Chains A and B, each alone.
Chain A
Amino acid sequence: MSKTSVANWGNFPIIEADKISFTTVTELCDLAQSKSTCIARGNGACYGDASLGSTIISTLKFDNIIEFDEVNGVLSCQSGVTFDALLRFLIPKGWFLPVTPGTKFITLGGAVASDIHGKNHHVEGTFGKHILNMEILLASGAVVNCGPDEEVDLFEATCGGMGLTGVILSVKFRVKKIESAYINQVSIKAENLDEIFELFEKYKDTTYSVAWIDCLQGGSSLGRSLLMVGEHATAVDAKVKNPLQLVGHEQKLSIPFNFPNFVLNKYSIKLFNFLFYHKQFKKITRSVVTFDKFFYPLDFIKKWNRMYGNRGFVQYQFVLPIENSKAGLYKILDEINRQGMGSFLAVLKLFGESDGLISFPMKGYTLALDFPIRDGLFEFLDELDKIVLQYGGRIYLTKDARMKKEVFWQSYPNAEKFKTIIKKYNPDFKWKSLQSDRLQIS
C-alpha cells in the first residue's frame, strides 16, 4: 500500500501517511492490531497536526445513525457521521445540534475529541456537556462504555482529549428542539474594543453570539467590530411556508486552486475588512437568516483554505481569563498591528465557565486569527504565546500546529492528570499524533 499525502484544514503540515478506513468494529480492531501506533481522523477540519500520524485511521466510512429517540431528543450515531449529514437528518424533523462550530464539515468523533464550542458556549457549554454516553475502542482491543457517570475518568479525558484515549466509536447525545431552520439575527457595530466588551455583556443572555473584529485598526478604533447575536426563529418568525425545510444548503462556490502567495497582503486584507465593516450601514440591523448563513458563512465557499496559498496557514486561537481579557487583547492587537501581521478573519467571543478536564474554553474572551504562513510567522506567534501565558490564557489544541510544549504544559492546569489517564488507557501510546509527540503528551 502506498502512502498518501495528508494535511488538515490549514494545509500545514503536509505529511505522507498510511490512510486506512473501516466500516465495522471488527475491521477496525484488526487494523489497529496490525499497527504499532495510529491516530483516528475524521473530516480533517482541525487546522493543524492533531489528527496526523504515521498511520491514520479515517472514521469517515463509519457513519451510520444508530438510534433516534424523537420523544426525548436523544440521538446515537457512529463517530464518522458529519454534522452536515446530521443537520440534513435533524432539521426537517424539528431538531438541531446542541453545539456546533463555524463549519458543519466536521465529524461527530472530531467534535468530541476537540470538545468543540459554538456561539452558544456562554449559555450551553461545550459539546461534551450534551453527551449521555459513548463507546471507545481502547489500545487493549476492548470496547468500553463511558459517560458523565460511568468510567468518568475515561469520559473526561476523551472530551477534548484529541483522540489519545482511544478511537471514539459511537456517541449518544441530546439534541435541541427547534421550530424553524432560521435564526433571528441582530448585528451591531462597535467602534472599538471597549464597546464590543460592553455589547457582549449586554447580550450575555442571548443564546448565540460572536463578533468579527477588524484587527488592522489602531488607536481609538482598535477592536472595531461587528457583533452578531441570534436566537432560533419560531415558525411564525420564519415567515415561510415550510419553516423546517432546508434552503440553499448546498455549496455553490469553490476555490479551484491554491492562490499565489501575494494575493493576501496587508492591503487586500485591509480592503476586505473595510468592506465587511461598512457593508452594514446602520448601527443595528435585524434580520431573519437561514441557519447556514448564521452558523456556517464560510462553508458556502468550498476549499476556502486554498486562498492562503500553497504554504498553508495557521489559525491562532487563544482564550484569556475574563479579568485579564481586555488588557491582554489590547496588548495582542497592538502587537499584531505593530508587526503588520493582519489576519483576514478574526473572530471574538465571550466564553462561559470552563467545561471539562482538558477542554479549551474558560470564562473570558477568545480570539481566533488566521495567519498565512510566511517567514517570521512562527517567531511572531511564539511572542504572542508569551503574552497569552503572561495573562493566564491558553491555546486551542484543535487549531494548533506549532505551539512549544512548555506553553501547553504551563497553560493547561490539568495536563498532568490528563496524561495520567491517557497512560492508564493507552499505556504504550498506541494512539499518538504529531501533536501529542510535539507537546510530549505521548
Chain B
Amino acid sequence: MTVLILGATSDMAIALARHLGAKGHNLQLAARNAEHVLSLKKDIEIKNKVTVENIAFDALDYDSHYEAYQRLSVKPDVAIVVFGYLGEHQTGIKDWKECHKIIDTNYTGAVSILNVIANDFESRRAGTIVGISSVAGDRGRMSNYLYGSAKAGLTAYLSGLRNRLFHSGVHVMTVKPGFVDTKMTEGLPLPAPLTAQPEAVAKRIYSALLGKKNVVYVLPIWWIIMTIICAIPEFIFKKLKL
C-alpha cells in the first residue's frame, strides 16, 4: 500500500517512514521543505524495494492543501498526520503569535488537510486516516493547555471523522503517544519509564493500524495515568499544579 506521511521531518515520522518502508510499503513524505526529506527518501529506497516520493507541504498554508493533495502521483491508501508544534507555553500565554502558531499547527492545519483527504477517501470508500494527537488533549493542565487544547480539538475532530467515515468503510485512528524521546522534547527532563523511543512508537502505530484500532495510547501506562487525571473532580483538580 501507499502511505502519505504529513510532517515527515519529525523523529516520529522518520521512525514511522523507516518502519513502513521495511514492511514493504511505498511512501509519500511531505515536509515544508521537500529537500529536507530527500536523504531520508534515499535511505529508505536503498534499504528496501519501495518507491518513496518527497513532497512539499506546508501545514499552515491552508489554501495550498487541496492542490498539494491533487498533485500526488497516486492517491494514498493510508494518510498519517504527524506534524505538530509543542511551542513555548510560557511565551504563548503572553504572545498571541506563538499561541496562534500552536493552535494553527496542531489543529487548524490538521483539520484543513484532513478535510481534503477525508472527502477523497469517502468517495473512494477506502483508506485509513491516522492522526497523531496527544495525551495532553485529554485534560487541560496549567503547564501546557495551549498545546493541550489544540490537541483536544484534534482528538474531537478525529472522533467525529471516525464516526462519519465508518459508514463509508474508511477507518480513522487516533494516536496519543505520551512522552516520546525526540528533538521536540530535547532538554526536557522526561521520566524514562514514561518515555517511548520513536522506533517503539512507530511499531505500535503500525500494528494498531493493521488491527484497525480506534484510539491508541503507545505506552499502556499512559491510559492509566490519563484515566486517573480525568477522574479527578474539577474542584480538586483546579487546586493542583499540574
Contact = CB atoms under 8 A, between A and B. Distances in A.
B9 A23 contact: yes
Candidate in B9, B36, B42, B183 with the most chain A CB atoms within 10 angstroms: B183
Contacts of A18: 187
Contacts of A64: 39-40, 42-43
Candidate in A2, A61, A64, A68 with the most chain B CB atoms within 10 angstroms: A64
B97 interface: no
Interface in B1-41: 9, 11, 14, 36, 39-40
Nearest to B189: A2
Contacts of A19: 186-187
A61 B183 contact: yes
Candidate in B36, B46, B183, B187 with the most chain A CB atoms within 10 angstroms: B46
B42 A66 contact: yes
B71 interface: no
Nearest to A58: B186
A363 B187 CA distance: 45
B186 A20 contact: yes
Interface in A46-89: 61, 64-68, 78, 89
Contacts of B46: 65, 67-68
B115 to A, nearest CB: 30
A24 B36 contact: yes
Interface in B87-144: none
A20 B42 CA distance: 25
Contacts of A68: 46
A280 interface: no
B65 to A, nearest CB: 25
A4 interface: yes
Contacts of A4: 187
A24 B42 CA distance: 14
Interface in A78-105: 78, 89
Contacts of A20: 186-187
Contacts of B242: none
A21 interface: yes
Contacts, number: 38
A236 interface: no
Interface in B172-205: 183, 186-189
A221 to B, nearest CB: 45
Interface in A223-237: none
Interface string A1-40: 1111000000000000011110110000000000000000
Given A64-B43, A65-B43, A66-B42, A2 B188 contact: yes
Contacts of B40: 64
B241 interface: no
B33 to A, nearest CB: 9
Interface string B31-61: 0000010011011001100000000000000
Contacts of A21: 183, 186
A2 B188 CA distance: 7
Contacts of B36: 23-24
A50 B28 CA distance: 40
A206 B36 CA distance: 45
Contacts of B11: 61
Contact of A78 (B39, B47, B183, B187): B39
A187 B187 CA distance: 47
A89 B48 CA distance: 9
Contacts of B186: 1, 19-21
Nearest to B48: A89
Nearest to A23: B9
A82 B186 CA distance: 20
Interface in A176-233: none
Contacts of A23: 9, 14, 36, 183
Interface in A292-336: none
A67 B42 CA distance: 8
Contacts of A66: 39, 42-43
Given A23-B9, A78-B39, A65 B187 contact: no
Contacts of B42: 64-67
Contacts of A3: 187
Contacts of B9: 23
A18 B42 CA distance: 31
A126 B189 CA distance: 39
Contacts of A65: 42-43, 46-47
Candidate in B36, B40, B47 with the most chain A CB atoms within 10 angstroms: B47
A55 B9 CA distance: 24
Given A61-B11, A65-B42, A78-B39, A1 B47 contact: no
Contacts of A24: 36
A271 to B, nearest CB: 33
Contacts of A78: 39
Contacts of A67: 42, 46
A183 to B, nearest CB: 25
A64 B42 CA distance: 8
A171 to B, nearest CB: 14
A62 to B, nearest CB: 9
A173 B165 CA distance: 51
A2 B46 CA distance: 38
A328 to B, nearest CB: 44
A372 B189 CA distance: 29
Given A1-B187, A18-B187, A64-B40, 4 more contacts: A2-B187, A20-B187, A21-B183, A23-B183
18 contacts: A1-B187, A2-B187, A18-B187, A19-B187, A20-B186, A21-B183, A21-B186, A61-B14, A64-B39, A64-B42, A65-B42, A65-B47, A66-B42, A66-B43, A67-B42, A67-B46, A68-B46, A89-B47
Interface of B: 9, 11, 14, 36, 39-40, 42-43, 46-47, 183, 186-189
Q: Which 10 A-B pairs have the closest CB atoms?
A: A64-B43, A1-B187, A64-B39, A65-B43, A65-B46, A2-B187, A68-B46, A89-B47, A24-B36, A21-B183
